[in-house]
Amino acid sequence: MRDKEDERVDGGRRIWLIATTVAGGIGGVATVVPFVSSFAPSEKAKAAGAPVEVDISDLKPGDMKTVAWRGKPVWIINRTDKMLADVQKADNEVADPHTTNPFSMALPEYCNNEFRSRTDHKNLFVAVAVCTHLGCTPTPRFQEGAQPNLPDDWPGGFLCPCHGSTYDMAGRVFKNKPAPQNLDVPPYMFTSANSLVIGKDEKGEA
């Protein structure tokens, strides 16, 4: 009789253990799911990296517009014919004329040319306004000629106020400067004659 009673007790214990284990497992899953989902990017984080569409209808020759993409300033510059000519003149003065050593992103194939822009809109230059030395934001110095902190034969371009790195009108760093690389050119495409989107091109989003 005792053996049968022991079997009933052991059987009852097994049922109790299975029940509590299953309940604990369900509770564990209920606890883990919200915890794991907390690792998913928030809507705000997604928006921070989303492509940005820019109206360029008011961008006259020689003008520049700055927008934010992924938390960084991005320039859109409508270069004049003179500015484009200055880019060609600077070929022998810049450290990496063909951007063979990109900074934080590869140069888009459609910008792999002397003006680092799309050939059908070669006047429009798009670049991430972050100095490749220590991350400061360069300032536009489009005026040519002698001026403070610039050489007498300055062709026009950008000056980093932090440590003096200079870039030409295609965002290429001049030789013998602290910055080691050219400014980044992000993926972009034109959505109409008066607008472009930064962070997206024919291959998809960056």
| Main-chain dihedrals φ then ψ at residue 169, nearest 5 degrees | -75, 5
Domain 46-205 has CATH 2.102.10.10: yes
Partnered with residue 146 across adjacent β-strands are: none
Q: What are the boundaries of each domain within the chain?
A: 1-40, 46-205
Is the pTM for the entire model greater than 0.85? Answer: no
Per-residue pLDDT tens, the chain, 206 aa: give them: 545 545 444 555 555 444 444 444 444 434 333 333 334 434 554 456 799 999 999 999 999 999 999 999 999 999 999 999 999 999 999 999 999 999 999 999 999 999 999 999 999 999 999 999 999 999 999 999 998 889 998 999 999 999 999 999 999 999 999 999 999 999 999 999 999 999 999 988 87
pLDDT score, position 44: 54
Q: Are the CB atoms for 78 and 62 separated by under 8 Å?
A: yes
Nearest residue to 128 (alpha-carbon basis) of 77, 189, 162: 77
Q: What is the C-alpha to C-alpha distance for residues 201 and 206, in angstroms, rounded to an integer?
A: 8
